Each structure stands twice: as structure tokens, then as C-alpha cells.
Structure 1
Amino acid sequence: MNWIDTAALAPPVFIQGLVLCLGLIVAIGAQNAFVLRQGLRREHVGSVVLFCALSDAVLITAGVLGMAQALGERPGLARALALAGAVFLAVYGWRALRRARHAGALQAAGGGVGLGRGAALAQAVAFTLLNPHVYLDTVLLMGSIGAQQPQALRGWFVAGASCASLLWFGLLGFGARWLAPWFARPRAWQALDALIGATMFALAALLARHAFSGM
């Protein structure tokens, strides 16, 4: 692939990584609630946001590089993983649409004592790395999709996904006081989950088309 092709394809690949990562991490969960809590209390927000974003970036990069090596000369395995990823995204989209019918709310726990920087980071580590879904989402799913990009474009995919993580956690932490009332409204999450569901179905269709086009 020459530099002209790379320049032309880089923005769509970057956006694919961005949208896919946002769809996977924007959800009601313990990690997001913790980042929101730190933002509301204005305690070590930068450190927590940076850790969460860097963790995603490292895991996604490791997934893409590892999957790229594993898929190297195995087109059959690449197609199988593409189809599996399409199914996963379709199921994820279906679950998001189900949540849109019975949405909850994201609220940070009130009260409690303030945390030191070390304690805050320790909790961020636990909420991030002790969650088995993080490895499924970043290493396996994001890694397998990113690894199927041409070698010259894998960095753009990782960059898009990493920017999505930094954007989301940054908004959640530094915009907590403004966003908290919005996150507490079930209707807002219904609209967001509906958008995520439609996006995941669209990405699943693209991934399935990619898998079948290689047959």
C-alpha cells in the first residue's frame, strides 16, 4: 500500500476505531460510575482519567499486535474472527436496544471519605483490570478487528480507539458536574443506547461483509 492509499483510507479507519471503542465503553458500569464520582468530588481527576485511557490504549495496542501476528498467514482464522466479531457486535447492539426499552441511570455514590491519589488509582486499577469484559472488548474484539486492517493502517485504528477512550473518560471526569444530571435521566440513556445499538448493527454488517468478501 502506497502513501496515497494510506492517506485516503486513514480517516475511515480512524473513525471506525473511534466509533467502535465509544460504543463499547459508553455504558452504565462500575468504572464509569467511579470516574464520575471522582469528577464530582474533583479528586485526582486527571490521574484517574489518564490511567483509564492509557489502560485502554495499551490493551487495544497489545490486542492488535498480538492478533496481527496470530492471523499472519491464516486467512481462514481471520474470516472466522471477523464473523465472530460481527455476531458479537450484533448481540451487543441487540442488548443496547433492549436497554433502551428499560434504561437505568448512571449515578455516582454519594458520601464517603475522600481518597488519596494512591487509593484512587488503586480503585481505578481494580475497576479497569479486574473486569473480565475489558479483555474481551479491547484485546480480543478490538484486537481482531484492528489486526485485519492493512499494516500501514493499524496505527490509525488504534489511534481512533485510544482517542475515543480519552474523550469519553475526559468528558466523564472533567465534565462530571455538568453531565451528572444528564446521566441521571433514564430517557437520556435510552436515546444513547438506541444510538449505540444502531451503530453496532452497522459495524457488524460491515465486518460480516469484510469476512464474506474474502471467501
Structure 2
Amino acid sequence: MSDAADSAHDVAHLPCPACDGGDGSNTPAAADAFDCRAFRDALGSFATGIAVVTACAPDGSFVGLTVNSFNSVSLAPPLVLWSLDLGSPSLEAFRTASHYAVNILAADQEDLSQRFAMRAPDKFGDLEICTGFGGVPLLHGCCAWFECANETQYPGGDHLIFLGRVERFTGEPSRAPLVYHGGRYRHLARD
């Protein structure tokens, strides 16, 4: 679910460009030796948190999308990473932004996950936000926020990997996180 569209749908029903012919036509194009659908299902065995990455585009507008590809990299210096599909309409805005924010969603924020998974012209419309470093929008009610300088980008197959240097962060550890596993949202059981 590293692409925004995956978070709002059952992964098993999403078209796979390699397996389905690239146009959603369900015409197999991949070699039989590697089953992309089975690969995606196996990846879905790894439970992840859900985040919305936000930035300020060069024209001053806000961009944001849902990801579960967020990961810590280093404590010294503080580095995190996430990845974005090369076909995303937001790719250039994130690629050129000086900063971005990783908003870690709370268990009661499925609606935000779905909202930012859609391709819509104004995802921020009626949301209450505050502004972080580089003008990035920060979403209210999250478990944690990481404001990052857009440090480095690396090619990663059909994705671009963003490595960010965390300049400021905060969190609300008492809030339960939104979790994704097996192609759907899950909730953690209380101890």
C-alpha cells in the first residue's frame, strides 16, 4: 500500500500493472515464474501503520497522500523514509518541496486515510490544519508528526524513495494508531 490508492481499497482487488497488463484489463503480462498478486498478498502479511505525507507545492497549494511505506532509518542524524509511486500526480510537488510532514494517523482517522488516498483536487478543503516548517500542513488529531527536510531521493523500481531529515517532531503516545494488515484496516487490542 505504498501508493495512496491502496489504503482505501482491498489490496486483492487492485489492478497490478505487471500482472494485469498495465491497463487494468486483467490480461496477464508478467512471467509465470513471479506471481505479483501473491507477492502483494505476502507483503500484506506485514502489519503497518498508516500515515498521510503532506507538503507545500511550488505554487503554494497543499498536497498530501496516504502511505504505509514510512520507516525510521537513523537516530543520529534523525532520518526517516517513505516511498511514492512514479505515476503519482503529486510526485513532482513532493520531489521539489523543501520540506514535508509525516502525519501518523490515529485509530479513529480512517476517514482521513481514505480522503488522502483519493485523487481529488482539494483534499484539505474543510480540514483544520496548522503549518509546520517549510509551510507544510500538519493534520490535527494524529498520533505523531514528523516535520522533515527533503534530504535525498533514491530510485526504487516503480517508486521514488524519499529520505527526510527530521527537524521537529511531536507525538501523543496515548492515542492508538491506525493499522493496516492483510488489505484492510485493523485495530490493536488493549493490553
Same fold (TM over 0.5): no
Flag the structure with higher helix content. Answer: 1
Structure with greater strand share of residues = 2
The alignment's TM-score, normalised by the length of structure 1, stands at 0.24
Which structure has more relative contact order (CA 8 Å, sep 6+)? It is 1
Calculate the TM-score normalised by the size of structure 2: 0.26
